[in-house]
A and B are shown apart, each in its own frame.
Chain A
Amino acid sequence: MTILLGRELTSPMSTSVDVVVIGSGAGGAVVARELARAGRSVIVLEEGGYHPQKEYAALSPSRALSTLAREAGLGLAVPLGDTPVMSVLAGKCVGGSSVLTGGVCFRIPDEVLHDWSTRLELDGLTPDALAPFFAEIERDIEVETVPESMRSRSTELFVEGAAHLGVPMKSLRRNTSGCKGASRCNFGCPNGAKMSVDVSVLPEARKHGATIISDALVEKIDVERGVARGVSGRFLDARTGEPGVAFEIRARVVVVACGSLHTPILLKRSGLTTAHVGRHLTLHPAFRVGALFDERVEGWDGAMQSVYSDHFADEGLTLVGVYTAPSVLAAAFPGVGRAHRRVVKSMPNLAFFGAMLHDDGGGRVMRWLSREPLVTYRMSARDRHRLWKGVGILGELAFAAGAREVMLPIFGADAITSPQQLRALVASPPSTRKVECMSFHPLGSAKMSADPAYGVVKPSGETWSTRNVFVADGSVLPTSIGVNSQLPVMAMALRIARRIAADFELHGRLAAA
């Protein structure tokens, strides 16, 4: 059971193992655990730092973002055309993005799997075939239904508004154990209640002998004659954070699990490129409206997310009740000076209602000036229409719940005070570039396909270009799934890991040859 801090290593390292896993997030952690359980020697390389749960539990949101997230949480998808600017949150720490999720767990909807297994002809991705993997992961990370008693007043108002409009709401499931409703899951749970992989999966991987090395930047997968021999990279310097001491790890199987933003970059840098690497990125654009009530809401008292509605799923919209740290919400308020302070002071009376798009894609990941990729996104006309429809629905819900004013996610826009104003705005909306959007689920940039002409990896997770290189993260999902991706990524990774374990001798012989 070992965690090595790369930033403290001062001499070059070279070693050999059965499996090297690049990335310790939802995908990488599951693969590492499964292969360690199967008796393989495993090293997990994580570019981010190692921060025990007790350490990040004490961090403020801004400190959590600068410590645990890529780009301090300020990463953006550059908009192309009439597209909103979207912040893209991804983890950069041992545990990856699972440390920064809201903990919401959905299985991949059946209709999405039906599409994958029929239209895309992907074997073994039917609801029945994946159900055991979902069930196993749900047990491992303690997925439970959020009880009604944990709903914040903000969520209760969301449910009340929905009830007035005849929109049914359902309880969410999350991977929590002993949640105390701190309402800031996505900055690292302050109570250690969220079962992110750093507390639920990686400890078991370490128990079975896996070694985790933090601050280890993999620069290249070493490929010789079409077979991966291992990886090489550098540990990040303790002072500057820049790559310093070199390392080389020889392995019989290489598993890439850097997430949808970095997996394509590593594949390209290693020469494992096809026309599809870095393309087909989907982001699940999310947005929220603020609703000002006469009563005190204090929405921070309760679970961050506890209800959702799939009433509009056929139109590509999932509604989600959401609340987070007051400083984070205040950051999105309009105005300057006194005007801004006035809105912030109304925070105790504000509720927030959110929605997420099941998007058509249109994103791309590219290498550019730094280690961080350039992400671009062009929103489809259909998604723009859905986005404004979602804004309209959330606004109507807010007024139905009794809101006095509604703050729309439009930069520089004043709050509106009547449903008529809302309808007029949605009927002739401003440029979508003015909409404030967020993305928490980048997916699909190294997508799975039944034919090498259409994707990057096989249904088994192995890359089409190199036989003993596997991808096991959100980048393999071939389309947007329309629901939170943590559980789907883990289930897919488990499936891929089981395949690797079953065929390991074959991969080993290939690498030896």
Chain B
Amino acid sequence: MIFGAPRCEIVFALRRALRTLPATFLSEVNVRSFPLRTTLTTQDRVVLRAVAEAMFSEDGEVEEGRLDAHLEEVDAFISSASKPLRAGLRFALFVVRIAPLLLFMRARRIESLSVGERVRVLSRLERSPFAHLSLAFIGWRTVMTLVFYEHPAELATLGYASDERKVYKRRLALVPAPVSVAARIVAVAPEPAESGVRLRDDVHAHDSERAPAVAAKDDRVA
């Protein structure tokens, strides 16, 4: 008990307060997820943040608050998984944490290394001949990368500016101005060259019967 309140309540209150700090960086994590639970402990977050720095901010190119927000997003993502899977992920994080000991016989934890050293350890872990050892890191890298590169700023650096698509417009240009229903059917829904593995003749006949519906649908789209 501290100041009359149970310690766990104080920890929860601090966690809640910390979560509001990087709120400006949060994109969708504010959407309340179901179920409402968290997975990562304070210690896990320290380790994960160290890994995130090595993965995404080796040269300090990512803002501090962004990494904090990233941890929240990762926690929200994995928390809908089952208890055994979440426990497995936490165990994998423990393996990453003691990787310097496992790989280099150095009695150091990953978070106590410099960013450069962390990169070296994680690279070695990724290429470990022991598949299960490397999977501990690869699993976390997959989760963290999936979440990190969803950020609009990161997508923009890849040239993925928005959901706007050019190919779709190319298709629209192919749809001719409606002259007659029959002409539209021929133009919009040509006989498919192939529509299934070892397709039989009667399927082609069926697709032709469907053509009017396809034409009407494409009108809606246009």
Determine the chain B residues whose CB is within 8 A of the CB of A313 once the complex forms. Answer: 197-198
List the A residue with the shortest CB-CB distance to B165: A181
Does A377 touch B at the CB level, under 8 Å?
no
Determine the chain B residues whose CB is within 8 A of the CB of A60 once the complex forms. Answer: 27-28, 150
Query: A49-B34, A331-B142 known; A152 and B167 CB under 8 Å?
Result: yes
Query: A7-B34, A335-B123 known; A145 and B54 CB under 8 Å?
Result: no
Does B2 touch A at the CB level, under 8 Å?
no
Give the contacting residue for B197; candidates A236, A238, A433, A482; CB below 8 A: A482
A310 to B119, CA, bound (A): 43
Chain A window 210-237, contacts with chain B (Cβ cutoff 8 Å), 1 for yes, 0 for no: 0000000000000000000000000011
Does B16 touch A at the CB level, under 8 Å?
no
Determine the chain A residues whose CB is within 8 A of the CB of B147 once the complex forms. Answer: 62, 327
Query: A66-B77, A135-B206, A327-B155 known; A336 and B220 CB under 8 Å?
Result: no
Contact call B220/A178, Cβ cutoff below 8 A: yes
Determine the chain B residues whose CB is within 8 A of the CB of A66 once the complex forms. Answer: 33, 76-81
A368 to B139, CA, bound (A): 22
B51 CB, nearest partner CB in chain A, Å: 9
A368 to B88, CA, bound (A): 14
Contact call A181/B131, Cβ cutoff below 8 A: no
A147 to B115, CA, bound (A): 49
Contact call A74/B203, Cβ cutoff below 8 A: no
Does B18 touch A at the CB level, under 8 Å?
no
Q: Which of A147-182 contact B (CB under 8 A)?
A: 147, 149-152, 170-171, 173, 177-182
Determine the chain B residues whose CB is within 8 A of the CB of A301 once the complex forms. Answer: 165-167
Is the interface on chain B under 10, 10 to 19, 20 to 34, or 35 or more residues? 35 or more
B113 CB, nearest partner CB in chain A, Å: 13
A301 to B160, CA, bound (A): 9
Chain B window 22-51, contacts with chain A (Cβ cutoff 8 Å), 1 for yes, 0 for no: 000001100101111100000000000000
Does B106 touch A at the CB level, under 8 Å?
no
Contact call A369/B84, Cβ cutoff below 8 A: yes
A150 CB, nearest partner CB in chain B, Å: 6
A425 to B82, CA, bound (A): 38
Contact call A336/B33, Cβ cutoff below 8 A: no
Contact call A412/B150, Cβ cutoff below 8 A: no
Contact call B158/A326, Cβ cutoff below 8 A: yes
Query: A330-B145, A344-B158 known; A106 and B81 CB under 8 Å?
Result: no
Does A90 touch B at the CB level, under 8 Å?
no
Query: A74-B143, A111-B198, A170-B193 known; A67 and B58 CB under 8 Å?
Result: no
Give the contacting residue for A341; candidates B56, B83, B123; CB below 8 A: B56
A7 to B33, CA, bound (A): 13
List the 6 closest A-B pairs by CB distance, nearest first: A241-B35, A170-B194, A327-B149, A337-B58, A145-B192, A178-B221
Residues of B at the A interface (CB closer than 8 Å) are: 27-28, 31, 33-37, 54-56, 58-59, 73, 76-85, 89, 115, 119, 122-123, 126-128, 131, 134-135, 138-139, 141-143, 145-150, 154-155, 157-160, 163, 165-168, 170-171, 174, 189, 192-200, 202-203, 206-207, 210, 213-214, 217-218, 220-221
Can you report 25 residue pairs joining A to B where beta carbons are below 8 Å apart?
A63-B33, A66-B76, A134-B203, A135-B202, A135-B203, A135-B206, A138-B210, A145-B192, A150-B168, A152-B167, A181-B167, A239-B35, A241-B35, A302-B165, A313-B198, A318-B197, A326-B158, A327-B145, A327-B146, A332-B142, A336-B55, A338-B59, A345-B158, A347-B158, A372-B84
